[in-house]
Amino acid sequence: MSFGTGSIWMNGKLVDWKDATIHIGSHVVHYGSGVFEGARCYDTPKGSAVFRLDEHMVRLMNSAKIYRMEYPLDLAGWRDAVLGTIRANKWKACYIRPIVYRGYHTLGVNPLHNPVDAAIMLWEWGAYLGAEALEQGVDVKVSTWARMAPNTLPAMAKATANYANSQLIKMEALADGYSEGIALDVFGNVSEGSGQNIFTVRNGALFTPPLSASVLAGITRDAVMTLARDLGFSVTEANLPRESLYIADEVFVVGTAAEVTPIRSIDKIVIGSGRRGPVTEALQRAFFDVINGEVPDTHGWLTYVYPSESSLRSQQVAATATRG
Ligand SMILES: Cc1ncc(COP(=O)(O)O)c(C=O)c1O
């Protein structure tokens, strides 16, 4: 199965992919009134597991709260809805896209008359910037587009409207022959990619822009900061001038879609040795070891989707023991 197949959760009901439609007059189509998430379920040796499910669902609820768009599901409800949809589709590994949006009733800027609807889509999504990129790194440019100014479109909300800006960044980068664009904030400091947070490495220490630099509070960003500190690296959230990118030893971007992807050049200036650096490689390995279930999940980041065979067996043993 891939994009275009399976069932989609819509307001609590599973509907066939081709029937998961909304009316052209839905508020979200005209006014960008939606908030969403992007998470991943990985096929680990211990079974399928969603990476940081609760953090993604909390961010979804917070994005909805910022837009006065509360949906009648709490964290447990969202967790069950996502896990139930994966189980219904029998996915081992998939990308998870929950969305909460203003639906169909009437049109006008005021969204409050429209219903708040929700859906959960699943599909197969490989390495976002290409499998080769994970090892070779990608060539990027600093975008001529800035990220949203503070107090305009809130960067902490993962809102569909923010992705109008992301699309401008991405299209410009592709048109100019790059894989991705890195945007500055309106003060000229480094912000983030069109769909990834960014890190630099200098003399073995890591730096990443603070949340005040118009970045999304990325869940991979948080995981990478934690893993880096576990490995003994110092990590500083600091405003980064554009030129600090060019003279960094290593630069990499992180996100649910991009995972941990090295950058080998920016504006045609070669970064470090022009290939994945040792710190990026160590963090990539640490990240992939967790998501592939190859090391103990010490941070409690994995939510297993299907009851494992061993736990099923122990339930059977317990049931037999009770009956006996
Ligand atoms: C603009 C933007 N920044 C950063 C990220 C990374 O966030 P996360 O690691 O939670 O996927 C994303 C990914 O969704 C994004 O769209």
**Ligand 1 pocket member 180 (CB < 6 A):** no
Given pLDDT bands bounded at 50, 70 and 90, which one contains residue 308?
Answer: low
CA angle 29, 31, 35 (to 5 degrees): 80
| Higher per-residue confidence, 53 vs 2 | 53
For the segment 107-129, what is each residue's pLDDT rounded down to a tens digit? 999 999 999 999 999 999 887 77
Atom 5, ligand 1: residue with shortest CA distance = 196
Decide: 31 and 65 in contact? Cβ < 8 Å: no
Ligand 1 pocket test target in 35, 194, 196, 198 with most atoms within 8 Å of CB: 196
158 belongs to the catalytic site? yes
**Ligand 1 pocket member 208 (CB < 6 A):** no
Ligand 1 pocket test target in 41, 216, 261 with most atoms within 8 Å of CB: 216
**Tell me, what's the pLDDT at 291?**
93
Given pLDDT bands bounded at 50, 70 and 90, which one contains residue 132?
Answer: confident
Decide: 19 and 95 in contact? Cβ < 8 Å: no
Question: How high does pLDDT run on average in the chain?
Answer: 94
Decide: 208 and 199 in contact? Cβ < 8 Å: yes
Q: Which secondary-structure segment (H or E) carries 181?
A: strand 180-184
Instruction: Find the mean pLDDT for residues 205-226.
Output: 98
**Tell me, what's the pLDDT at 312?**
45
What residues form DSSP beta bridges with 206? 201, 235
**Tell me, what's the pLDDT at 309?**
45
**Ligand 1 pocket member 218 (CB < 6 A):** yes
249 burial via Cβ count (<10 Å: 0-12, 13-18, 19+): middle
pLDDT higher than threshold 90 for residue 311: no
Given pLDDT bands bounded at 50, 70 and 90, which one contains residue 324?
Answer: very low
Residue given tokens 């081992």 in the structure block? 92
Return the percentage of the chain with pLDDT > 90, whole number: 89
pTM of the model: 0.94
Return the percentage of the chain with pLDDT > 70, whole number: 94
Q: In angstroms, what is the span from residue 233 Cα to ligand 1's centroid? A: 23
**Tell me, what's the pLDDT at 131?**
78
